[in-house]
């Protein structure tokens, strides 16, 4: 059973989202919070951390951006999906770099919310078609691709380049292991090394790093 927490100050939206999520197979909402402070209070006291947090950005007392920063500091493995009306390119990418595993607009279809939750659980991130188009637009005036190690600000091994490419293609750790003929534990080791080298906060951050540095083209996510 996938457990979900929802943080949004608009009661009607929050209750409606909870009702929708509870209709998804093997998913249940275990927390509804009206702001970031209430969400953090739940995370501090609960014995069962949610698998995924669905969180708005514009909330009183403690907004989504500040809540995201605190969550990353205290619960680095916590997966967060941002639900927002804001669609500015830089803003979306900034939230992902802060630690969001996915960013959805509030007018998304319920089916996409379900895909995002399952994608974040299975692969560590989910980028909607709108987000992929945003990423593509931001790099469209740059070189489309570079050779291994060219213009990459850090030193990545050939194997790490292979792993980050496969991560961007939305393969699970098991699928990457099978493709490269290595163990899942080794894949996890490469992923941890990539996180440390790039400074990314999670898998979604690795994808952003790869796209920004032309290691992959964002269209591979479509």
Which of 64, 7, 60 has the alpha carbon at shortest distance from 30? 7
What distance in Å separates the CA atoms of residue 104 and residue 131, rounded to the nearest whole number? 8
pLDDT of residue 146: 43
What distance in Å separates the CA atoms of residue 100 and residue 93, rounded to the nearest whole number? 9
- What number is the average pLDDT over the span 43-69? 94
What would the pLDDT profile of 104-123 be if each residue is shown by its tens digit? Answer: 999 999 999 999 999 999 99
Exposed, middle or buried by CB within 10 Å (0-12, 13-18, 19+), for 59? buried
13, 20, 90, 125 from 168: Cα distances, Å: 32, 29, 20, 9
pLDDT of residue 7: 97
Domains present along the chain, CATH in parentheses: 2-126 (3.40.50.2300), 144-221 (1.10.10.10)
pLDDT of residue 35: 96
What would the pLDDT profile of 4-39 be if each residue is shown by its tens digit? Answer: 999 999 999 999 999 999 999 999 999 999 999 999
Which pTM was predicted? 0.88
What would the pLDDT profile of 183-212 be if each residue is shown by its tens digit? Answer: 999 999 999 999 999 999 999 999 999 988
> C-alpha dihedral over 169, 175, 177, 183, to 10 degrees?
140
- What number is the average pLDDT over the span 143-159? 64
């Amino acid at each position: 059973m996938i457990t979900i927490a929802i943080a949004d100050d608009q009661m009607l939206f929050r209750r409606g989202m909870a009702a929708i999520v509870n209709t998804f197979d093997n998913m249940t909402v275990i927390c509804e919070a009206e702001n970031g402070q209430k969400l953090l209070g739940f995370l501090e006291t609960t014995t069962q951390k949610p698998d995924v947090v669905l969180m708005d950005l514009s909330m009183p007392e403690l907004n989504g951006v500040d809540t995201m920063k605190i969550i990353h500091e205290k619960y680095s493995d916590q997966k967060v999906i941002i639900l927002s009306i804001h669609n500015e390119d830089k803003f979306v990418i900034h939230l992902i770099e802060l630690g969001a595993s996915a960013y959805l607009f509030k007018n998304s279809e319920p089916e996409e919310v379900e895909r995002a939750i399952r994608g974040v659980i299975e692969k560590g991130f989910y980028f909607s078609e709108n987000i992929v188009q945003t990423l593509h637009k931001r790099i469209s005036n740059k070189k489309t691709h570079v050779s291994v190690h060219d213009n990459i600000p850090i030193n990545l091994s050939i194997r790490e380049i292979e792993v980050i490419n496969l991560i961007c293609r939305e393969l699970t750790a098991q699928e990457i292991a099978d493709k490269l003929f290595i163990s899942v534990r080794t894949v996890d080791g490469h992923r941890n090394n990539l996180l440390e080298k790039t400074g990314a906060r999670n898998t979604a951050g690795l994808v952003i790093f790869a796209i920004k540095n032309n290691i992959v083209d964002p269209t591979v996510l479509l």
